[in-house]
Chains A and B, each alone.
Chain A
Amino acid sequence: MNAMVKAEGVHKSFGPAHILKGIDLEVSPREVFCLIGPSGSGKSTFLRCINHLEKINAGRLYVDGTLVGYRQSGDKLYELKEREVAAQRRGIGMVFQRFNLFPHMTALENVMEAPVQVKRESKAVARERAQRLLDRVGLGDKTGHYPSQLSGGQQQRVAIARALAMEPKLMLFDEPTSALDPELVGEVLDVMRDLAQDGMTMIVVTHEMGFAREVGDSLVFMDDGVVVESGHPREVLTNPQHERTKSFLSKVL
């Protein structure tokens, strides 16, 4: 089976700061792939490279068999035009730590925006889907609310619905529960669990070890820009092989 995401020796630097130092990994379709590690280890940066919010400096990154951000012709790489990059991103949903909902639009308008603007869908069709998605994340009665009128957990669920509205084949979650009150974490994880059961391919940067253990199909521990250890979440979390993994887990578990 073709990998949904394939990274080959991915490097990324911001000026002198070398963030990713050669990442190799593969994510299969329908897999829930968890990325854990200390802050500054490069896990969020890697996630942002997958939909080309960041340009990689070396290596190759493929989503569903297509090179991200570039076109290869012979042995030459051509940067994709803005429009082509945007087209690639349509198939990849992203959920941010700080939600990043559009504050001047209601929950319903947030979810309708991309299908109407990007896919040129009719408003009626987009509205119907948006309503269905908001129902699915348990916010069918909050469609007319602005983000400022919603709790953090509700905002994040709207953000998930917004990403799903583009019917992506891959979902990226960048610490989706890190900015939430402990009480509100559960409702967001429930939505993600539901999504995983539906067979969505998901890459999740998280500190929720419970979620990783229960829902994750594979887990990667990153530190200082490299993959230190990977395997099935239950194995890595209960029986870490590497010293660095052990010391990290002893602090967070």
Chain B
Amino acid sequence: MTDTVDKAQAASVPPEQIKAIPVRHYGRWVAGAVVVALVALIGVAFSNAKINYSIIPDYVFDSGIVNGAWTTLYISVLAMVLGVVLGIVLAVMRLSSNPVTSTVSWFYIWFFRGTPVLVQLLLWYNISLVFPILNLGFYKNEMTQVMTPVLTALLGLGLNEAAYMSEIVRAGIQSVDEGQTEASHALGMTQGQTLRRVILPQAMRVIVPPTGNEFINMLKTSSLAYAVQLPELIKKATDISSTSLAVVEMYFVACIWYLLLTTVFSIVQYYVERRYARGTTRNLPATPLQKIRTNLTKMNMLSLSSWRR
């Protein structure tokens, strides 16, 4: 009894804080200096290069470039949508117990992951060699008429993406604990309900980050559609450079747009990931906006309190 009383008394007296001399990290200073020197060196080299930087701002909002950026954006979005939808189908096929569907899915992934996208794009571009005439019964036309650059790029990029997406979706589905399926079945839910209501929402947490990565990759991979005459950013930059004779400068302009697009989608991805983190962390981290808001109110309170004094 007396022991516990002593402890209680001891707790009311704050313990002496440790005051020690912190460890010096000399290595960090050296490494920092080396990195700064290297960055400066590269900066100086680029600024002395035979590149006419002053004309870059003139072309950032050039109508051709803006059109190209818009084409890059929409072809990437459409190809990604095609890739995600077909990817989910392929993943479910791959995991199905039907040997025919799972083998077909395996073969699809093997082929489309194993050959270069550029070749796939060129194959769609020349598909009229295989099917000279498209005949859907209600619609008949020359294949060369049907395969516009947009459709060629969409098929080439989307079907390739589906192979990657299916592996991402499959990993996501398989990451969900088997107990979830059992609990869902035990409640009388069917396989479809289980997949839709229980498995996929949890798989999303695993699926979203690499999908964001895939999309950012897609924005840049779509530049290969230049080879099939799609008027996207790189094609437009090349076209302009042939008249303005500023080749590297035009590619820099394109890079500004690529960086802009990828930055915007990185932010979107952050919020989507946050949405699917529900239930996995006890407290969701504050969004940057929320952080700014709380900091602002704190500052307001401080300034107000000092003001009143």
Contacts and interface: CB of A to CB of B under 8 A. Distances in A.
Contacts of B177: 100
B281 A89 contact: no
Contacts of B280: 103-104, 148
A87 B179 CA distance: 20
A245 B189 CA distance: 39
B190 A82 contact: yes
B190 to A, nearest CB: 5
Interface stretch (A63-71, A113-121, A130-138, A202-210): A113-121
Interface residues of B, number: 24
A177 to B, nearest CB: 17
B186 interface: yes
B189 A118 contact: yes
Interface string B118-153: 000000000000000000000000000000000000
A37 interface: no
Given A82-B190, A106-B279, 20 more contacts: A53-B182, A53-B185, A82-B191, A87-B188, A89-B185, A90-B188, A93-B186, A98-B179, A100-B179, A102-B180, A103-B202, A104-B201, A104-B276, A114-B187, A114-B188, A118-B187, A118-B188, A118-B193, A146-B278, A159-B183
Interface of B: 177, 179-180, 182-191, 193, 197-198, 201-202, 276, 278-282
A149 interface: yes
A166 B187 contact: yes
Contacts of A211: none
Interface string A90-107: 101110101011111110
B309 to A, nearest CB: 41
Contacts of B186: 51, 53, 89, 92-94, 163
A162 interface: yes
Contacts of A100: 177, 179-180, 182-183
Contacts of A148: 279-282
A166 B188 contact: yes
A148 B280 CA distance: 7
Interface residues of A, number: 32
A113 B191 contact: no
Contacts of A101: 183
A58 interface: no
Contact of A89 (B188, B197, B198): B188
A48 B282 CA distance: 32
A80 interface: no
B279 A105 contact: yes
A162 B187 CA distance: 8
Interface in A161-212: 162-163, 166
A104 B179 contact: no
A240 B185 CA distance: 37
Contacts of A103: 202, 279-280
A53 B185 CA distance: 8
A84 B177 CA distance: 25
Nearest to A97: B179
A125 interface: no
Contacts of B279: 103-106, 146-148
Interface string A41-52: 000000000010
29 contacts: A51-B186, A83-B190, A86-B185, A86-B188, A86-B189, A86-B190, A89-B185, A89-B186, A90-B188, A94-B183, A100-B179, A100-B182, A100-B183, A101-B183, A102-B180, A102-B183, A103-B202, A103-B280, A104-B202, A104-B278, A105-B279, A106-B279, A118-B187, A118-B189, A146-B279, A148-B279, A148-B282, A163-B186, A163-B187
Nearest to A149: B282
A117 B189 contact: yes
Nearest to B180: A100
